[in-house]
Structure 1
Amino acid sequence: MIINNNKADKVEPMFKSLSQKTKASYFLILAMAFIYFSSGSMLLYLPKFFVHLGSTKQEAGFLVALSVIPFVLLSILSGHLANKFGSWRLVLLGNILHFSAALLFITVDEVSPLVYLLRIMQGIGHVCVFTPLFTSVARIVPDNFKAQGIGYFTIAIQFGTASGSFLGELAINNLGYTKFFLIVAFMNTLCALASGYLRGSEDETHAGTANSLGEPNGTKWLLVFGGMTLILVLGGVFGTLLQFIPVYFDEMLTSGVIAEAIPGRAFLTSGLITVACIRLLGGKYSDGKHKGVIVAVCNIGLLVVLYLITYIDSITTSLLVSIMFGGFYGLLYPMTNAYVLTKVGAKVRGAVTGSLTMLFEIGFRGYALVAGIVAHHLGFEWMFYSMVVFYAVGALFYYLTILVSSRRDFEDVVTDEDQTVFEEGMVVDKE
């Protein structure tokens, strides 16, 4: 029985410990993530374009959600293919699909079946780019720096999303939709060209821990499922807050609960900035020997924050709660992903990466539907209470898997020791 906790004895600087080749590959992935998600966040203005073409708001909403279907259906396959054949091929294909869709949108003058086809193309393109890039990070970053590597990767995504959302509105208002789509296509071209350089990193693989997934050990499967469950509930909490906080603040104002309006950015912007800052400044501690304690504190803190949201009554309290949320969530997401990926073998790491992105997306989109029903029938306060229960159940299952796994490890060690004593006794008897 091999037990490998894979804990760092001290906090080490990630970039100083990576080889020059690995470092170059990693920075290339960060640059690609920044550019790709800049172009992707520009597409957040597609509903405005659809309404401009004459669609209803309901139809525009459906068109936005349509691209999620390929992502959910193909994420695991995308990760598996990236792991087997190399990420660069899928990244190239995905950006070609995005490039083609952007150019074809220029020819659209009404909401026709072509628009639905283009949205599906964009959904397939997204699953061909995001999951393989994530798989590349999981492949080239050593296990003892996995949380940091994922954390910095998500920072690149966040900065790309922020810059793209700003650039998109600027392009539409000043240049029009044709040049808007040309800019998107240009960004996809840059990513497609960069994917060729990504090919050089395909041989850099840092294997998972001993007795990892892919080998006949049920304990590791259990730990992986626990981590995946936590990713699912994290996605549900994060997505629901992003989508419902502005509506919640408006509801409080119109119902007279608060006298002064609280802008949504007082929670969302400050929270997202905190997420980026905590990953940038505190990322090196997420792979240290106290990472288990950090995860426990963040899990408890997140539950408290979800409850405290119901006490927000001003811009000040909104800022305080959002900063708390950003701090706890900011570390939990990369650390939980790293926890799962360090429990799996190299052969299945791509498929597991795809599963992680799929589960987060299901939580992000799916629980918002449940939360909306609760808010409609019982009110927003009960919606947040339901989120506390939802997250608590996921966190409890996560810790239950760790408890059961630890017990199995102990029993295996005891069994091995008993077998050794028995064998030694047999030798003595023979003598």
Structure 2
Amino acid sequence: MKNDRLWNRDFIAVCISSFFLFMTFYSLAVTLPVYVKDTLQGSTQQIGLVMTYFIIAAVIFRPLAGKWIDELNRRKVIFISLALFMICSFVYVGINSLSALFVLRFLHGVGFGIATTATGAVVIDIIPDQRKGEGIGYFSLFMSLAMVIGPFVGLTIMTHYSIYVLFVVCIVFAVLSFVIGMSARIPERAPREKAKQSWHWKSLIEPKSIPISLSGSVLAFSYGALTTFISIYARELGIEQAASYFFVVFAAMIVLSRPFTGKLFDRMGEHILVYPGIILFTIGMLGLSQSHTTFIFLLMGALIGLGYGALLPSFQTIAIKAAPSHRRGLATATYFVFFDSGYGIGSYVLGIIAEKTNYHTMYFVAGIVVACTTLLYYGLHHRKMRTVAKKVYS
């Protein structure tokens, strides 16, 4: 009888490694904009570029990572990616110019893109088949925890100490991610010789995962406005201290909802989570654009957290389930290529909108974009499922 235990040693190790990986990412994501503006004297557009260079690198290397994790020695792929991510974390301490920071962000993005794709693909094989929705939900919960603790730690250290103290803390996070990640027993697959020789685009991207990944990219476009600009937006509103608590409330809602969202997905399907999730996310972003007080600012963070917490694992699970089992690594890579692309483009484009208008307008535009996810999801996924169901039962 197949073992259906979810919380085993390897699942926990990969989850904790991913947690510290994202702790580094989110701690830097919300603090580097302040560092670029105040210390390096960068513009709003250059603030967006600090995130965009990182994401471009992740997008370029995710498809390759998906191919490598399906065909090569998985342990070596994870070792190299986590090691690169860790080494880059050490270099931030010596950065003193925008050009050097851009180069470092690109290299750091390479390690991040490969590592997150690899760990995301490996954990899928560790999770029992009948508990995929629940398992991926809990795996992404660790990312959500990093989403709250990372920004809080980053902004708190920036307020009371300095960015250089934060860089040292991020080094510790990266080292922990490497050590714990390498302690997991990683399931191996036999090399696939034909796949190794193929460099057709389908050897880098999983076509069946593209429709839902497009929906994810639109969602990520608006999400980029949160991590990249929320700290500066809070400062403009005169509630700078609320910025760190925004992510506390945001992720608390994800944590509170996660135990039942994964089970709902497995038992009742994705639609029951996706449509309410989009509505909550949209209302939260539109409300955020009109915020002037700490209460409304944090309340919108709670609504966005509930929406995002329902959408992210649902879209990722749909992308993975759409692919054959031997292409789950590519499915994971495909989803995050589109997600990261939307995130990077959103950080840059919304930064331009903020520079030309203001942050209120930028968040309003981001909310309208989230609402468009409904049309994409229905047109590319839901309607297709209804058509398949009709053929089956007719």
TM-score with structure 1 setting the length: 0.71
Give the match for residue 184 of structure 2. 198
Contact 1:143 1:342 in 2 (8 A): no
Q: Kindly indicate whether residue 13 of structure 2 is the aligned counterpart of residue 33 of structure 1.
A: no
**Are the structure 2 counterparts of residues 404 and 163 from structure 1 closer, same or farther at C-alpha, using a change threshold of 3 Å?**
closer
1:244-289 CA-to-partner distances (Å, cap 9, x unmatched) read: 4555556567xxxxxx999434644322221222224644333222
Give the match for residue 346 of structure 1. 325
Give the match for residue 214 of structure 2. 229
- Map 1:7-156; keep pairs closer than 5 Å: 18-19=4-5, 23-41=8-26, 43-44=28-29, 55-58=40-43, 61=47, 62=49, 65-103=52-90, 108=94, 110-111=96-97, 117-156=103-142
Looking at structure 1, the residues matched to 281 and 98 of structure 2 have their Cα atoms a distance apart, in angstroms, of: 44
1:133 CA displacement? 0.8
Given the alignment, which residue of 393, 400, 404 partners 2:384? Answer: 404
Looking at structure 2, the residues matched to 383 and 390 of structure 1 have their Cα atoms a distance apart, in angstroms, of: 11
Q: Aligned letter for 1:201? A: P
Unaligned runs of 5+ in 2: 191-205
Looking at structure 2, the residues matched to 174 and 313 of structure 1 have their Cα atoms a distance apart, in angstroms, of: 28
1:37-84 CA-to-partner distances (Å, cap 9, x unmatched) read: 3344454556777899x7443598455543332111111111221122
Looking at structure 2, the residues matched to 277 and 389 of structure 1 have their Cα atoms a distance apart, in angstroms, of: 26
- Map 1:350-389; keep pairs closer than 5 Å: 350-377=329-356, 382-389=361-368
Given the alignment, which residue of 251, 269, 272 partners 1:293? Answer: 272
1:289-324 CA-to-partner distances (Å, cap 9, x unmatched) read: 254223222223333333344554433333333222
1:392 CA displacement? 3.0
Contact 2:62 2:333 in 1 (8 A): yes
Specify the SS of the correspondent of 1:57: coil
Looking at structure 2, the residues matched to 281 and 404 of structure 1 have their Cα atoms a distance apart, in angstroms, of: 26
**Are the structure 2 counterparts of residues 172 and 141 from structure 1 closer, same or farther at C-alpha, using a change threshold of 3 Å?**
same
Alpha carbon RMSD of aligned pairs, Å?
4.0
**Are the structure 2 counterparts of residues 64 and 383 from structure 1 closer, same or farther at C-alpha, using a change threshold of 3 Å?**
closer
Specify the SS of the correspondent of 2:268: coil
Q: Kindly indicate whether residue 371 of structure 2 is the aligned counterpart of residue 392 of structure 1.
A: yes
1:399 CA displacement? 1.0
Specify the SS of the correspondent of 1:19: coil
**Are the structure 2 counterparts of residues 291 and 122 from structure 1 closer, same or farther at C-alpha, using a change threshold of 3 Å?**
closer
Contact 1:262 1:315 in 2 (8 A): no
**Are the structure 2 counterparts of residues 241 and 116 from structure 1 closer, same or farther at C-alpha, using a change threshold of 3 Å?**
closer
Looking at structure 2, the residues matched to 249 and 162 of structure 1 have their Cα atoms a distance apart, in angstroms, of: 16
Contact 2:84 2:111 in 1 (8 A): yes
Give the match for residue 4 of structure 1. none
Given the alignment, which residue of 309, 319, 324 partners 2:303? Answer: 324
Looking at structure 1, the residues matched to 283 and 90 of structure 2 have their Cα atoms a distance apart, in angstroms, of: 47
Q: Aligned letter for 1:146? A: K
Give the match for residue 225 of structure 2. 240
Given the alignment, which residue of 257, 269, 272 partners 2:248? Answer: 269
Specify the SS of the correspondent of 1:201: coil
Contact 2:283 2:303 in 1 (8 A): no
**Are the structure 2 counterparts of residues 323 and 85 from structure 1 closer, same or farther at C-alpha, using a change threshold of 3 Å?**
same
Compare 313-322 and 404-413 and name the one that shifted more: 404-413
**Are the structure 2 counterparts of residues 296 and 104 from structure 1 closer, same or farther at C-alpha, using a change threshold of 3 Å?**
closer
**Are the structure 2 counterparts of residues 146 and 51 from structure 1 closer, same or farther at C-alpha, using a change threshold of 3 Å?**
same
TM-score with structure 2 setting the length: 0.77
Looking at structure 1, the residues matched to 288 and 332 of structure 2 have their Cα atoms a distance apart, in angstroms, of: 32
Contact 1:87 1:135 in 2 (8 A): no
Compare 331-340 and 224-233 and name the one that shifted more: 224-233
- Map 1:174-189; keep pairs closer than 5 Å: 177=164, 184-185=170-171, 187-189=173-175
Looking at structure 2, the residues matched to 112 and 302 of structure 1 have their Cα atoms a distance apart, in angstroms, of: 33
- Map 1:300-315; keep pairs closer than 5 Å: 300-315=279-294
**Are the structure 2 counterparts of residues 147 and 48 from structure 1 closer, same or farther at C-alpha, using a change threshold of 3 Å?**
same
Unaligned runs of 5+ in 1: 1-16, 205-219, 254-259, 415-431
**Are the structure 2 counterparts of residues 81 and 164 from structure 1 closer, same or farther at C-alpha, using a change threshold of 3 Å?**
same
Contact 2:54 2:109 in 1 (8 A): yes
Identity of aligned residues (%): 19
